[in-house]
Amino acid sequence: MPFPIQRFQTDRGREFFAVKVQEKMMENGIKFRPSKPGSPHLNGKVERSQRTVKDEFYSTVKLDLQELQQSLSEWQHYYNWQRAHGSLKGKTPMEIVCDLLDSTPLHQAVSDAYDQEKERIQEANYQLDLQVRKLNPCL
């Protein structure tokens, strides 16, 4: 990616709470920020993009494994480089990336700002995680 990933916001799917996954994010200076339960509006962009993929891609391809990878690569290029997005005021994602390049922090600046001491392994159980957070509110 042409920009550093600073945060990873997800729903509360258990796969994201695996210790190895969280440790890998920390190693790479990525903050893990799971959304609060009962907050589907925080995942709206993901849900909308998944609907677009379902409607515009999967409805048009055969799910043959050999063809699928090639078709997916072609569609991803189209989606990011050529397809206008209403949420981006008619621009493509790559046009937005280019527009924001000058104001996007470089990897080194993001890495310097990341404080691993303020990160911790988070619990999938939200109530338990709240209790852990109360024990050390600095995290």
- 47 compared with 91, residue with greater pLDDT: 91
Contact 46, 70 (CB under 8 A): no
Indicate whether 85 pLDDT > 90: yes
**Boundaries of every domain in the chain:** 7-135
Average pLDDT, the chain: 90
pLDDT of residue 77: 96
pLDDT mean over 94-110: 91
**Which structure tokens are listed for 89?**
């005021």
SS3 for 66? helix
Is CATH 3.40.50.2300 what the domain over 7-135 is classified as, yes or no? Answer: no
- Checking if the pLDDT of 123 tops 70, the result is yes
User: Which pLDDT score, from 0 to 100, does residue 23 have?
Assistant: 96
Q: How confident is the model at residue 1 (pLDDT cuts 50, 70, 90)?
A: low
